[in-house]
Every structure is written in C-alpha cells, then in structure tokens.
Chains A and B, each alone.
Chain A
Amino acid sequence: MSWKFPKNPVLADSVAEIENINDSLRPFAEETYGRLNEHNWASITQATANGGDPFVADDVAEDGVFVYHSAGVHSSYTDFLAGGAVNAQDQDFASWSNWTALDSLTLSITCPQTLLWVHGSCQIDCGSMDSSTTPSVRLAIRVDGAILLDSVAGTAECDNDGVAGMLYPAFPLSTSFVVPVASGEHKIDLVVKTSGVSPAAVSSTAAYVRSRELICLEMRR
C-alpha cells in the first residue's frame, strides 16, 4: 500500500472547496480497504523525531502481535514391563496404524497471514523387550489436514530379517517446522503412525504415546 499525500491540502487564507475536501479525505478512507503495510504506521524513530506519536506495542490489542498457543498432556510414568497400568492419558497405537492425531493436543486458531513456528514432541513407550513385535513409530505435524512431510521424525523401518544392533522400545520424538498460512482459521495437530515388524504380520505389541506437547508461535511481526 502506498503513502498518500493530500491532493489539495487546506491552507491558511485559502477557500475550502467541497471537492477539495472530498479529495483530501477519501484517499485515506480507501487506503484502509487494502492491506496496511509498514508505511501506514508511525515508526518509533521517525514519529518521535518529528514530534509525533509513534505506534508502539501498547497500541496493538491484547494478543494482537505476539500470539502463542500450546497444549500439553502429562502421563505419570508407570513401568509397563513391571506390570504398570496404562494411564488414561496414554494413547494406544496398534501396529500399522494410519496417521492419527494425538489426543488433547489439537490447536484451532484464527490468525492473519503469517508464519507459524510449530514444535511438537512426545514420549513413545512400546512396553516391550522383544524386537520381533515392537513397531516403528513416526511423528509429524499436520496443518489443516495436510501432513508436512518434511516434519516427519522417527523411523518406518520394518524387516523380515533378524535385526542386529541397537533397539529402542521406549524413546522420545520431537519435530519442528515453520509454515506460512493464509488469513483465517487453521487447525494444527501432531500425528503419529506406526509400522509393524513385518508387512505380512501384525505385530502384537502396541505403541503408547505418553506425555506430549504441541507449541505454535504466530510470527506476526
């Protein structure tokens, strides 16, 4: 959006004409129909130097610029291997699950055109010591139903052959992403998908998602 200067400024000792008044006022009203940019707000340096009233943070409505959203779930640790109970906060994923949103983490927000800085993390526990039944787990960020493929973390490894080496039946996952969004309503959530050990057989061990958190920062400035 452009700067606007009055075409016919009202000067001392001049005659005020109706058309001149219209020409001086109407452009400013029309400016607000479009997207106001940095030229439409008095800056701290220029306004102050010229005796004006600068636009400052307090001129913005509460949560108008710096807006954060977050949701978290705490599942108090219980040792599945020692017969510990599955908590109500634990979310159960069978092997070969579809991408499924984590409970109690979905963020529904309304924002202007902006960048979203999204962070998601969770604790996975398969409650197992047997690699032949323990599924692989992936975590991703989903925005308005679309999974951000570059945000996928974890592993999808599955193999019919014996696996030798390090195995992690319990582990944390985290992912972060910066995504531009248009003005309007948006839904952000964390999604998880599991893979079994063999494509031909459904692993018997579930994967549980325990404590988890989703953070979304609106980068409006």
Chain B
Amino acid sequence: MAEINFDALEELDQLNAASLNTRFAEVRNGINELPIDSMAAGALNENHIPSLVVGQASIRVGSAALTHSYTSTTYTVITRAGNDLEIDFGSDISLGTGNGVGGILVFCEVFARRLRNTTNADPWSYSGAKAFFRISAAPSSGGAYAAINRTERYFQALFEGPAGTPNYAGLAGTSQRFVIPIQTLITSSDSSTVRKIRVETKVAPDPGHGGDAQTLLLRESYLSAIVLRSSKS
C-alpha cells in the first residue's frame, strides 16, 4: 500500500510556493502509487472503463428433431444442413494485453443421441467404441484450423442388462443421450490471432469387436464465445 505522509504546515513554517509544492507532491506521488487493492469492489464501473466483454457470438446447429450423423474416424466439423458449428468473428482478433483482448472464453455443448455399431442394429453391451470432440481455431479467414488439443473430450457408453446380462433385448433401440461439455480460454499462447472457431468430431471403432465401424448421431449442439478485454488497449 502506498503511504502518503502529509506533513502538515506548522506555525512559523514558511508558507510559500516551495513548501506548498512539497506537500502537493507528497499527495500526488502517493496517489500515483496506489495499488489496485486501494479500490473498493465496484469502484470502477461503466462510467470509467468499458465492459469486460468486447464481443460475443453463439450458434446452434441441429435440434431435438434435426439430427445429424458422423462416421469419420478423423476429425470433421459438426454440421447440419450446411450450417457448421462454427463462429466467424468477422475480422482477425489479435490476442494479448497489448491488443485489447485478453482471451476468448469458449463454451460448447454437444447433445449426442447415440453412438451405434454400424454393423449391428443396437450397441454392443460391452462396447469400447468412442466419440470424440474438440475445439479448433483458425487465425484468419483463409487460415488453417488448428486444434486446441487440451479441449479433446470423448465418451464411451455401453448397455448392460439386469445382473450384467450382455446384449439384453430389453435395451434394444436405446440411445445413450449424453451431453458433452467443453470449456476453454483461448489466449495468445494458443494463437496470436483468431478469426474463427469451430467444434469437430470423430468416432473410434470398438477394438473389442473386430473394429466395427460406428455411427454417431447428434442432436442440437451449441457453441458460444465471449471475447474478453485486456487492461490495455
């Protein structure tokens, strides 16, 4: 905490420009050295500095009724009816405190209805198949997407009948119905600029059943991005 020792004028002290300047300087220097702790919560509001949020965007693809399927074993963008689960910020966003943007906070939710063994009508009870999801970002309009690797998430779901009965007929046609959440903060350490972000998916075969191909069926999927301001613009 900066310390301001105001040296009060006493009787017989000289009252002149120099003595006043000394005291003004004490106050000025103390104020200039105030640490951030000097501010009460809420001291800086919309009348002083702009919002935390530079901008935001969100998109929804698919719905409860409008499903879309994936069979690729390499990552591909989630899309339905020509609409990618992708946000284009409209211009390249430079990340870093010197550029006015501290980071991009990204939230994603994908509603998976079913991961099904394509060979069999219903999932195996003991299935090692998985469906994968991740966030990728492109630095510019025509730039290549690069995966934010730490966002890779996947699920494996299997059915089991009473007392561990495999392939229980009563579960035929059952869907897994699983929501995959992804959160990430994209910073300058990921990319110096970001123009677009998107969500990608792929499936992996079940190694326990001869590598049967899989079909992933998705319902609605959401992607939201909040561009966060940095202290310096």
Contacts and interface: CB of A to CB of B under 8 A. Distances in A.
A213 interface: yes
B65 interface: no
Contact of B164 (A35, A43, A162): A162
Interface of A is mostly: mixed
A88 interface: no
A73 B20 CA distance: 58
A118 to B, nearest CB: 10
B49 A221 contact: yes
Given A66-B102, A66-B230, A38 B157 contact: no
A79 B204 contact: yes
Contact of B158 (A76, A125, A167, A173): A167
A18 B41 CA distance: 36
B68 interface: no
A131 interface: yes
A13 interface: no
A168 B157 contact: yes
Contacts of B154: 77, 123, 125, 170, 172
Given A82-B207, A121-B181, A121-B182, A129 B126 contact: yes
Interface of B is mostly: mixed
A112 B36 contact: yes
A16 to B, nearest CB: 6
Report which residue of A25, A30, A76 has the largest number of chain B beta carbons within 10 angstroms of its beta carbon.
A25
Contacts of B47: 38, 43-46
B187 interface: yes
B213 interface: no
Nearest to B30: A32
Interface residues of B, number: 80
Contacts of B152: 74, 77, 123, 211
B185 A70 contact: yes
A86 interface: no
Interface in A55-78: 55-58, 60-68, 70, 72-74, 76-77
A97 interface: no
A25 B9 CA distance: 10
B8 interface: yes
B156 to A, nearest CB: 4
Residue among B26, B52, B126, B156 with the most chain A CB within 10 A? B156
A38 B207 contact: no
A106 B66 CA distance: 41
Interface in A14-29: 16, 18, 21-22, 25-26, 28-29
Interface stretch (B83-91, B136-144, B170-178): B170-178
Contacts of B57: none
A40 B40 CA distance: 10
A181 to B, nearest CB: 10
Contacts of A66: 52, 102, 228-231
B183 interface: yes
A174 B164 contact: no
Contacts of A76: 149
A36 interface: yes
Contact of A129 (B20, B45, B51, B158): B158
Interface in B19-42: 20, 23-24, 26-27, 30-31, 34, 36-42
21 contacts: A1-B40, A18-B9, A21-B20, A32-B4, A38-B44, A44-B47, A55-B49, A63-B230, A65-B36, A68-B102, A81-B207, A121-B183, A131-B164, A162-B164, A165-B171, A166-B157, A183-B37, A213-B150, A213-B184, A213-B185, A220-B41
Interface of B: 2, 4, 6, 8-11, 13, 15, 20, 23-24, 26-27, 30-31, 34, 36-45, 47-52, 97, 102-103, 105, 126-128, 130, 132, 149-165, 168, 171, 174, 176, 178, 180-185, 187, 204, 207-208, 228-233
Nearest 4 pairs between A and B by C-beta? A43-B47, A172-B153, A72-B150, A35-B40
